[in-house]
Structure 1
Amino acid sequence: MDAAILKPDELPVNDRGNGARTIPLVTRSCGSSSVINGITEFDPDAKIGVHYHNCEESVMILEGDAIAEIDGTPHKLKAGDTTWIPAGVPHRFMNDGTGKMRIFWTYADIDATRTMVETGVTQSIDQEHATAKKL
């Protein structure tokens, strides 16, 4: 298997709605067989819905100020702060600043899914990334 060099500014972007956009990085498409990661950027006041995954997730704040709501408890975070969230724990990230906020996330399973708490709808992360488009 060949190694991969991934340049976020050259990759497709998945518009998540509500002012959040995701750039998939390490995925099946580059040859990964065990992990998925990427970058999500949030506009001011942007947030994603409460959800959980079927695997562990780690998120590092790359830029800006964030609120990580984990199992109903809000945590203020800044660049460099990192979370680890066990499978099945409801969570979400929100921009808590006036500029953009960026996170780097990693799922511990190539078959990661996201289940939205409000609707109960489960979707594979691969399915989400299939809608990414080059800007």
Structure 2
Amino acid sequence: MYPISTPSHAKLLRPSALPLHDRGGGARTVALVSPALGATTFISGITEFDPGTEIPFHSHNCEESVVLFEGDAVMDIDGREYALQPLDTTFIPANVVHRFRNVSHSKPMKILWTYASPQATRTLRDNGEIRAVALEHGKQ
């Protein structure tokens, strides 16, 4: 059963053994580090995008870092497009509007994301809706 706890309360997480949350629109997330594990300063997870999937423009109430694990990704930010290669890493300050897209028509794209707050939110640019990131990923 995962996560595995050590005597020091450290945790070992195996994404393949954790629940996969369908976010709709061709994106699925495995939540990794969360307050449920004892995290107090950040959360993280892995999201996979089907071919051609893009998430809407949005911002967060805290800093975010994204690492592209695999696939053909583009980050849209500041009115520009940036092609990403596997292991490229982004740093996005709080309240900066951005999005990620899988530009492949045949391969999935996979990212590791980290938010600098367990209370991270996502604000959609087009309608101003604010969502708790943890709720989007099946965590409360």
TM-score, with length taken from structure 1: 0.92
Percent identity (aligned): 48
Structure 2 unaligned blocks of 5 or more: 1-7
Corresponding residue of 2:86: 79
Distance in 2, matches of 1:126 and 1:54, equals 13
SS of corresponding position for 1:34: coil
C-alpha RMSD over aligned residues? 1.5
Corresponding residue of 1:50: 57
- Matched-pair contact (CA < 8 Å) for 1:72–1:90: no
Corresponding residue of 1:128: 136
Which of the residues 71, 75, 82 maps onto 1:68? 75
Distance in 1, matches of 2:56 and 2:101, equals 9
- Moved segments of 4+, more than 2 Å: 129-132
Query: Which amino acid is 2:35 matched to?
Result: R
Aligned length: 132
1:16 deviation in Å?
1.6
Rg larger in structure: 2
Corresponding residue of 1:40: 47
1:130 deviation in Å?
3.0
Structure 1 unaligned blocks of 5 or more: none
TM-score, with length taken from structure 2: 0.89
Higher relative contact order (CA 8 A, sep 6+): 1
Distance in 1, matches of 2:43 and 2:17, equals 18
Q: 1:15 to 1:71 in 2, by over 3 A?
A: farther
